[in-house]
Amino acid sequence: MKKTLIATILLLVTATVAMANPGFGGRGLEAMKSALGLSDEQATQVEAIMQDERARMDAILDILPRLKAGDSYGAQTSAWLG
C-alpha cells in the first residue's frame, strides 16, 4: 500500500513538472519516462492522463473569469464545483 501511494505521488509530482514544461509532450514526457523507468505502454497511459488533465484545467481556466464576473453560468458552475 505504501509503495503504491509513494509511486502515485511520485508520478503526480513528475507529471506536474512535465506539464509545466511547454513541450511536455516531447522532451518532458521522455524525461519522465526515463526518470521513472516507464515502459512504452505506461508512458502512453501517462500521456493520455496528462492530456485529459490539461483539458480539464483549460476548462477550469475558461470558467474562472465568469466566476469572478458573477454571471449566472459562473454561479451554476461554482455551485457544481462545491
| pLDDT tens by residue, 26-66 | 677 888 888 888 899 988 898 888 888 888 888 888 887 77
Q: How far apart are CA 25 and CA 77, in angstroms?
A: 30
pLDDT of residue 66: 76
pLDDT at position 67 over 80: no
H/E/C letters for each residue in 25-77?
HHHHHHHHHHHHCCCHHHHHHHHHHHHHHHHHHHHHHHHHHHHHHCCHHHHHH
Judged against a pLDDT cut of 80, whether residue 71 lies above it is answered with no
Which grid coordinates belong to 23? 513541450
Residue 67 C-alpha from the chain's centroid: 22
At residue 28, the pLDDT reads 78
Supply the pLDDT for residue 53.
87
The pTM for the full model equals 0.48
